[in-house]
Structure 1
Amino acid sequence: METYPLLIVVVTALATARVTRLITEDRILDAPRNAVLRALPDGHLLAYLLTCPWCVSIYTGTLAAVGGAGVGWWAWAWVPALALAFSYVTGWLASREGED
């Protein structure tokens, strides 16, 4: 793999992590996230999903992988592996937030 495509994969993985954090934790989306959480019954699976970076990252990672294939950054055959890799990188980074 050339340097430029590798850079695209790395940046896409980091973008996946950022979008996931935006959805699950960032204050800027507190209002819509809290509105959805209030509308759901206690213990609803969607409430867990909206606050779990490992859960959200599989969706954001898949969208990133499909988008990259759609614009020709990588072959469609790479989409499943890249989606899982983007999700894992996101979860790994989220688990290390706040560590010194």
Structure 2
Amino acid sequence: MNLVVFFLSLGISCRITRFITKDTLAAGIRSWVAARFGDDSKPAYLVTCGWCTSIWVAAAVTPLGFWAGETVAFQLVAMVLTLSYLTGLAANWLD
């Protein structure tokens, strides 16, 4: 894995983790998990904890980066997700 693929994989992991744990669009997933397993359950904690979720997201992204990291498709999708994450950080910082 070269440095570009590594940083794009990092961007994917950051954006997907943020989506699962914080974004309004994923609130239904978090609510469903809490309703299914209980508000104080480990699965409910998992989908709200960035540190916890990022382990599983990175575990899925890493092999994908090794397998397809050099492809144009991977790099385009990864760039979109990475730029989305960085734009969100910049917007929060600038506001």
- Tell me which interval the TM-score lies in, with the shorter structure as reference length: 0.5 to 0.7
Q: Please, which of 49, 53, 58 is the counterpart of residue 55 of structure 2?
A: 58
Over residues 31-88 of structure 1, what are the superposed CA-to-partner deviations in whole Å (9 max), with x where a residue is unaligned? 1221221222242111111100100000110111111222265xxxxxxxxxxxxxxx
Count of matched residue pairs? 74
| Structure 1, gaps ≥5 residues long | 74-97
Instruction: State, as a whole percentage, how many aligned pairs show the same letter.
Output: 30
Mean alpha-carbon deviation: is it higher for 35-44 or for 20-29? 35-44
Q: Aligned residue for 2:67?
A: 70
| Structure 2, gaps ≥5 residues long | 71-91
> What is the alpha-carbon root mean square deviation over aligned residues?
2.4
Q: Taking CA–CA contacts closer than 8 Å with sequence separation of 6 or more, which of the two structures ends up with the larger relative contact order? A: 2
